[in-house]
Amino acid sequence: MVTAGVFLIARCSPIYEHTTYVLKYVTIIGALTSFFAATTGLLQNDLKRVIAYSTCSQLGYMIISCGLSNYSVGFFHLTNHAFFKALLFLSAGSIIHAVNDEQDMRKMGGLKYLAPFTYSMIIIGSLALIGFPFLTGFYSKDLILEVAYGKYSSSGYLSYCLGTLGAFFTAFYSMRLCYLTFLSKPTGHKKVICFAYDSGLQICVALGCLAIPSILVGYYSKDMIVGVGSHFFGTAIFVNLENFNIFDAEFINVFYKILPVNLSLLGFFSAFIFYNFRSKFLFNIKISHIGKKVYYFLNRKWFFDKIYNEYLGQFFFKLGYSISYKFIDRGIFEIFGPTGISNVTSKISLNIHKLQSGYIYHYTLCGLSKYLDWI
């Protein structure tokens, strides 16, 4: 269900291709989603939450591609992303079970030698996620940013800039995850860390089966899915010729082609250097006046949940209770519905009941008088 929206947009391409303004709106929403999720995952401490926000960020890339009328490129990234993200999630689950169901990365560390196979799987998945050259993510993620710049429009430039910054942040928090979980000194409970282990044979086989396509599937499926002249999608996807720009993306400046890869590598290695050799520097930034506010802002997800729950959620809860429930359901529907009908019926029945006294001699006298009138 996570990627159902991307698939739906691709299948509804005949509708979107004739609504240019909607495509621009889709592109902007995708770019903002990618940037928002990447910055949010930057300072999360829950292992699964970091990977989940990276999923949200990658969905933003797919939506960018669909908004730029490159539906096949977005679908290509969707299929590639499925392999290495499944690898990351299952590896994270293996680590969580190994440390007694602990998910806070700050209470892990030192698992490189205790769970070496899972460590190697996390590294492969993280490198594929950041678009490391010649791994699966490299062939689709960079292609999305190339077609964004090759669109030569304001929405294309915006999505390229935010997507490139998102690539840097993605690489940074991926290395942060690897360092805090595996490379740093153990910071958890001794009884938990010392007995950490790799998962059983079945889990390791599943991780190994996901690691192979996380390395190779992008290279072997690129020409089939996004190759020029490929009939992989047939008539399932429609692209207006005015919006077709895959050739323009091939001839953009080399600097803009390699910029996302360079920033990804910069983010990956800078995170390793900062956390390994300059951890005190990061701590001083975190406890500074501005650093506290930035950390709190990003760790709290831009206060999105607070705004959503307090201003939207509470508003609709109150609206639903006062208007929908009390005024409509318990008011209008009850008056014109079962309660109103039953009250009216009861009153009519009561009035009819008053017409009769319940005494037999009254009924007899009444019948006798009618008989005499008839005679």
Mean pLDDT by 10 residues, the chain (375 residues): 86 90 93 93 91 93 93 93 94 90 88 90 94 92 93 92 94 93 85 81 92 94 88 88 86 92 94 90 88 89 86 83 76 74 80 69 64 60
pLDDT for res 336: 75
pLDDT for res 299: 86
Q: Tell which phi-psi region holds residue 237, choosing left (phi > 0), alpha (psi between -120 and 50) or beta.
A: beta
pLDDT for res 352: 74
Taking the CA atoms of residue 123, residue 129, residue 133 and residue 139 in that order, the dihedral angle to the nearest 10 degrees is: 150
pLDDT for res 62: 94
Nearest one of 50, 251, 249 to 159, comparing CA atoms:
249
pLDDT for res 177: 93
- Coil, helix or strand for 104? strand
pLDDT for res 124: 95
Name the pTM for this structure.
0.83
Q: Tell which phi-psi region holds residue 101, choosing left (phi > 0), alpha (psi between -120 and 50) or beta.
A: left
In terms of C-beta density within 10 A (0-12 exposed, 13-18 middle, 19 or more buried), how is residue 84 classed?
buried
Separate counts of helices (H) and strands (E) for the chain = 19, 0
pLDDT for res 228: 82
Nearest one of 96, 129, 128, 102 to 115, comparing CA atoms:
96
